[in-house]
C-alpha cells in the first residue's frame, strides 16, 4: 500500500536535512556536536516512551526498575569522570539546569552578578531569561576586551558594594576561563554562591584541558551534555555540597515532569567514551581552534582577542564589521555550506543581536569528524575566498562538498585503537 503523501513529505525533509548537514556542510556551530554511532544507537529505545517522576527508588510511577538502574549508573559515571560528589542529571537542557540552580540558590528579589550578553553571557543568565522569570535582579560584571575576560578587580569592588546573592560565570562566547577562584572567594566572603555555567566547555573539562570550576571553588556547575561534550542533548548540575544538592534536586520537579529518560543510555556511553578518549579529543579540539584562528588572521580576517592568543577553548570569534557585519557574513557562509552563527561582541548593544559585529565558530564537531590543523587551514581559506576575495558562494559550495567527503567517520578521540571500532560494529550488529 502506498503511504499517504504527507509521510513522504516528512521523509523528504528529514532526508534532506540528514544529507545536507551530516555529509555536505562544514558544521562550525559552537554549541553543537555529534554522538558516536554507539551512543546514537542507544538513543532510540523504549525508554523514550516512559515517565519516571521522582528519584531512583522514590518514583511516583511504577515500571521504572531499569530506569532507576540507568539513572544511577549515569550519575555514578559522571561523578567519577568529573571527580565530584553529586550529579543531578535530570535537567533536559542547559537552560533548565540553570533554572534549577538559580531557583535552589536565590529567591525573587535577590540579585545576581553576571557579564552582559554582548560579553558572552547566555540569555538564561539574564533578566530576559531564567533570571528574570524567577524575579532575580541582574547586575553586570565588568568585562575587559584587553584581557578578553572579566575585570577581576572591578568585579570584586562591585560584589563588595552590591552584595549579590549569586555570581554567575561561564559563557556562550567563551574563549578564556573566567576567574572562578578569585570570584568564588569574593562570593563566599559576603555569603553569596557562585554558579559556573560550563555548558560550552564540559567536554574540555572531561578531557582534562579545562579545570572543573567546582575544583576552583564554584558551589555549583551547570552544563549542557551536547556541546563540546559530545552526548545527547540535555543538561546536568553538579556540586560537592550535600545541602546544595538536596536543594537542587528538590527543584527539578519545579521545571521538569518527564526528564527524557532515553538520553541516559547515550549519555552513559558518551561518558565512558570521554573517560577513555576525552583527553586526545579535547587536546586536538583546542589545537584546531588555535590554528584556525591564526589561519583566519593570515587570510586577512580579524579574529578577536589577538593579544591573548585568540582562544583557549573550542571557539574562535571573528569581527566582520568591515565586511558588512555578522548577519550578512553568516548568511553568505551558509550559501557555501559553511554553517556558523552571527554573534554579539562586547562593544555591541544587545539590540544589535540581529546584525552584530561578529561570527562565532566552534571546531569541536569537525574535530570529531577527523579534521586536524592543516584541514582547518583549508577551511580558513574557503572562508576567506568568500569574505575577503568575494568569490561566488555557490562556487565555493562545490569545493566544500568535495572537501567534506574526506570527513565522514566519527572519531571518539585520536588515539582510538582500530579494534575499538570493530568491537563497536560487532556490538551494534547484535541489535538492542
Nearest distance, CB of residue 199 and ligand PLP, angstroms: 4
The one among 31, 180, 341, 367 contacting ligand PLP by CB under 6 A: 31
Contact status: 314 vs ligand PLP (CB under 6 A): no
The one among 27, 33, 75, 93 contacting ligand PLP by CB under 6 A: 93
How many residues touch ligand PLP under the rule CB under 6 A: the total is 14
Contact status: 172 vs ligand PLP (CB under 6 A): yes
Q: Give the interface segment with ligand PLP, choosing from 15-23, 92-100, 107-115, 377-385 (CB under 6 A).
A: 92-100
- Phi-psi category of 337—alpha, beta or left, where left has phi over 0 and alpha has psi -120 to 50? left
Nearest distance, CB of residue 396 and ligand PLP, angstroms: 27
- Taking the least distance from each CB to ligand PLP, the nearer of 122 and 251 is 122
Nearest distance, CB of residue 101 and ligand PLP, angstroms: 11
- Taking the least distance from each CB to ligand PLP, the nearer of 220 and 382 is 220
Nearest distance, CB of residue 226 and ligand PLP, angstroms: 7
Residue with cell 553586570: 140
Contact status: 89 vs ligand PLP (CB under 6 A): no
The one among 224, 239, 270, 288 contacting ligand PLP by CB under 6 A: 224
| Pairing of β 358-362 and β 341-343 | antiparallel
The one among 122, 165, 251, 263 contacting ligand PLP by CB under 6 A: 122
Contact status: 263 vs ligand PLP (CB under 6 A): no
The one among 27, 64, 124, 313 contacting ligand PLP by CB under 6 A: 124
Rg (C-alpha) for the chain, rounded Å, is 22
Nearest distance, CB of residue 409 and ligand PLP, angstroms: 26
CA distance 242 to 223: 19
Contacts 24+ apart (CB under 8 A), 123-131: 124/94, 124/95, 124/98, 124/99, 124/197, 125/98, 125/168, 125/197, 129/95, 130/95, 130/98, 130/99, 130/102, 131/102, 131/168
CA distance 166 to 159: 10
- Taking the least distance from each CB to ligand PLP, the nearer of 99 and 366 is 99
Nearest distance, CB of residue 342 and ligand PLP, angstroms: 14
- Taking the least distance from each CB to ligand PLP, the nearer of 229 and 323 is 229
CB 315, CB 303: distance < 8 Å: no
Q: Give the interface segment with ligand PLP, choosing from 39-47, 72-80, 164-172, 368-376 (CB under 6 A).
A: 164-172
CB 166, CB 195: distance < 8 Å: yes
Contact status: 311 vs ligand PLP (CB under 6 A): no
Contact status: 235 vs ligand PLP (CB under 6 A): yes
Contact status: 171 vs ligand PLP (CB under 6 A): yes
Contact status: 74 vs ligand PLP (CB under 6 A): no
Residue with cell 591564526: 294
The one among 89, 129, 164, 170 contacting ligand PLP by CB under 6 A: 170
- Taking the least distance from each CB to ligand PLP, the nearer of 271 and 291 is 271
Contact status: 375 vs ligand PLP (CB under 6 A): no
Contact status: 342 vs ligand PLP (CB under 6 A): no
Bridge partners, residue 114, by sequence:
140
Nearest distance, CB of residue 410 and ligand PLP, angstroms: 21
Contacts 24+ apart (CB under 8 A), 354-357: 354/327, 355/325, 355/326, 355/327, 355/328, 356/118, 356/325, 356/326, 356/327, 357/319, 357/320, 357/321, 357/325, 357/326
| Cα separations in angstroms, 432 against 35, 37, 74, 423 | 17, 13, 19, 15
Residue number closest to ligand PLP, CB atom? 94
Q: Give the interface segment with ligand PLP, choosing from 40-48, 89-97, 272-280, 297-305 (CB under 6 A).
A: 89-97
The one among 42, 199, 330, 345 contacting ligand PLP by CB under 6 A: 199
- Taking the least distance from each CB to ligand PLP, the nearer of 155 and 199 is 199
Task: Note the residues at the interface with ligand PLP (CB under 6 A).
Answer: 31, 93-95, 122, 124, 170-172, 197, 199-200, 224, 235
Amino acid at each position: 500500500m502506498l503511504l499517504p503523501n504527507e509521510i513522504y513529505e516528512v521523509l523528504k525533509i528529514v532526508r534532506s536535512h540528514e544529507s545536507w548537514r551530516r555529509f555536505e556542510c562544514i558544521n562550525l556551530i559552537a554549541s553543537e556536536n555529534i554522538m558516536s554511532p554507539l551512543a546514537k544507537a542507544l538513543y532510540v529505545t523504549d525508554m523514550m516512551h516512559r515517565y519516571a517522576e521522582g528519584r531512583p527508588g522514590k518514583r511516583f510511577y511504577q515500571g521504572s526498575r531499569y530506569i532507576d538502574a540507568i539513572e544511577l549508573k549515569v550519575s555514578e559515571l559522571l561523578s567519577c569522570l568529573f571527580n565530584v560528589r553529586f550529579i543531578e542529571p535530570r535537567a533536559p537542557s542547559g537552560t533548565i539546569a540553570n533554572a534549577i540552580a538559580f531557583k535552589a540558590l536565590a529567591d525573587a528579589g535577590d540579585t545576581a552578578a553576571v557579564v552582559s550578553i554582548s560579553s558572552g553571557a547566555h540569555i538564561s543568565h539574564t533578566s530576559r531569561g531564567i533570571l528574570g522569570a524567577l524575579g532575580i535582579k541582574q547586575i553586570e560584571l565588568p568585562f575587559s576586551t584587553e584581557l578578553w575576560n572579566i575585570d577581576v578587580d572591578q568585579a570584586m569592588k562591585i560584589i563588595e558594594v552590591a552584595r549579590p546573592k549569586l555570581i554567575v560565570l561561564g559563557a556562550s562566547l567563551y574563549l578564556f576561563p573566567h576567574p572562578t577562584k578569585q570570584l568564588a572567594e569574593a562570593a563566599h566572603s559576603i555569603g553569596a554562591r557562585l554558579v559556573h555555567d560550563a555548558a560550552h566547555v564540559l567536554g574540555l573539562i572531561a578531557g582534562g584541558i579545562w579545570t572543573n570550576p567546582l575544583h576552583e571553588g564554584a558551589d555549583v556547575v551547570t552544563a549542557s551534555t551536547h556541546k563540546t561534550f559530545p552526548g545527547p542533548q540535555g543538561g546536568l548540575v553538579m556540586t560537592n555540597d550535600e545541602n546544595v544538592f538536596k536543594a537542587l534536586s528538590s527543584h527539578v520537579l519545579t521545571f521538569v515532569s518527564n526528564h527524557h529518560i532515553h538520553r541516559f543510555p547515550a549519555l552513559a556511553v558518551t561518558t565512558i567514551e570521554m573517560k577513555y578518549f576525552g583527553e586526545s579529543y579535547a587536546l586536538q579540539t583546542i589545537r584546531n581552534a588555535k590554528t584556525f584562528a591564526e589561519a583566519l588572521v593570515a587570510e586577512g580576517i580579524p579574529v578577536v582577542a589577538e593579544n591573548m592568543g585568540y582562544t583557549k577553548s573550542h571557539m574562535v570569534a571573528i569581527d566582520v564589521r568591515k565586511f558588512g557585519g555578522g548577519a550578512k557574513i553568516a548568511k553568505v557562509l551558509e550559501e557555501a555550506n559553511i554553517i556558523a552563527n552571527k554573534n554579539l561582541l562586547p562593544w555591541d548593544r544587545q539590540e544589535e543581536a540581529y546584525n552584530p559585529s561578529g561570527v562565532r565558530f566552534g571546531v569541536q564537531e569537525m574535530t570529531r569528524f577527523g579534521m586536524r590543523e592543516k584541514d582547518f587551514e583549508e577551511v580558513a581559506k574557503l572562508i576567506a575566498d568568500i569574505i575577503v576575495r568575494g568569490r561566488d558562494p555557490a562556487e565555493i559550495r562545490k569545493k566544500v562538498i568535495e572537501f567534506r567527503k574526506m570527513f565522514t567517520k566519527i572519531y571518539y578521540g585520536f588515539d582510538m585503537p582500530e579494534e575499538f571500532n570493530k568491537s563497536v560494529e560487532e556490538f551494534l550488529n547484535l541489535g538492542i
